[in-house]
Amino acid sequence: MAFTKRSLGRNGPIVSAIGLGCMSMSEFYGHSDRGTSLRTIAAALEAGVTLFDTGDFYGVGHNELLLAEALQGKRDKAFIQVKYGALRSPDGSFIGIDARPAAAKNALSYSLQRLGTDHVDLYMTGRDPNVPIEDTIGAMGELVRQGYIRYLGLTNVDTETIKRAHAVHPITALQLEYGLISRDIEHSVLPLCRELGIGVTAYGVLSRGLLTGSKGNGSGDVRSTYYPRFHKENLSRNEVLAVALARVASSEGITAAQAAISWVLSQGEDIIPLVGARTEERLREALTSPVQLSADALSAIEAAVPQDAVHGERFMVR
């Protein structure tokens, strides 16, 4: 399955049809084991996964160091995409975003050191409300011309930002939440990406584990704090969706995770699911998701998990 490739954006680089999201190997979803994480990344490479997603703020540098260790001697087999801009305090709290031109250059310098590489394949950031997106993308474009970055991306931005950014330098991919119960991008962002030939790397394909019955209550697991869908008042109502998905998936001979991943894979060749697998077992399960499900199976999956049946917002509204 992972051998199946997709183009990241129209005429973009060719990468594996499923990417490995490394975030939870460093923090956010409870305890992760270093040795297990390294083995999972190695197994992903071995299986033909080429797309690896990280962020300089995932574990405040920890995630990039982990990825560098796992990719030692195999850098050329990996397409590394890195997010920057989110600011952290030593206590781990998020304290803003900085996407000023100087911040982009500074952040990249540190990422290259931590990753032990001379270039990042795709570099992306979110919207800094204090900086015109033209300035941010202008600086990132300069880094492309200097050979430190191959392609540019953005994450969690609106259509206006995409248009303005793309006018300064081609945007290859957007990283957005997309899955059975997170379909907001279908209204305007996804159509715009398709018009402009921008690819999508989708996170939250399993709704951060909500669709697979992962409860998010362990120590160091922020889901029950940050994400309303995991809040006590919503969780038990949302768990019904995981049960319904597991039931319809089993009638297709697959697991709930595979049904959710296959559904995203089926929404278009321009969408590449990022899966947050941190064990070899989860990875194998994800990579053996059917690329093609019948129209009847896809309808049954959608009917089991109607998008409007979910309780709670995706994020805390600040």
Ligand X SMILES: NC(=O)c1ccc[n+]([C@@H]2O[C@H](COP(=O)([O-])OP(=O)(O)OC[C@H]3O[C@@H](n4cnc5c(N)ncnc54)[C@H](OP(=O)(O)O)[C@@H]3O)[C@@H](O)[C@H]2O)c1
Binding site for ligand X (CB under 6 A): 21-24, 29, 53, 155-156, 175, 203-209, 212, 214, 257, 274-278, 282, 285-286
The minimum distance between CB 175 and ligand X, in angstroms, equals 4
The minimum distance between CB 2 and ligand X, in angstroms, equals 13
Cβ proximity to ligand X: between 7 and 288 the closer is 288
How far is Cα 91 from Cα 70, in angstroms, rounded to an integer? 27
SS3 state at 315: coil
The minimum distance between CB 24 and ligand X, in angstroms, equals 6
Cβ proximity to ligand X: between 89 and 217 the closer is 217
Question: Taken in order 69, 70, 74, 75, is the CA torsion positive or negative?
Answer: negative
Q: Quote the tokens at residue 239.
A: 């768990």
DSSP state of 266: T
Q: Which residues contact 217 (CB under 8 A, 6 or more apart)?
A: 224
In the block, tokens 């954006």 appear at: 9
Residue nearest to ligand X (CB): 21
Q: Is 58 a catalytic residue?
A: yes
Cβ proximity to ligand X: between 220 and 306 the closer is 220
The minimum distance between CB 37 and ligand X, in angstroms, equals 11
Cβ proximity to ligand X: between 86 and 131 the closer is 86
Torsions phi, psi for 270 (to 5 deg): -90, 5
Which H or E run contains 10?
Answer: none
Of 58, 84, 151, 227, which residue is the catalytic one?
Answer: 58
Write out the catalytic residue numbers.
Answer: 58
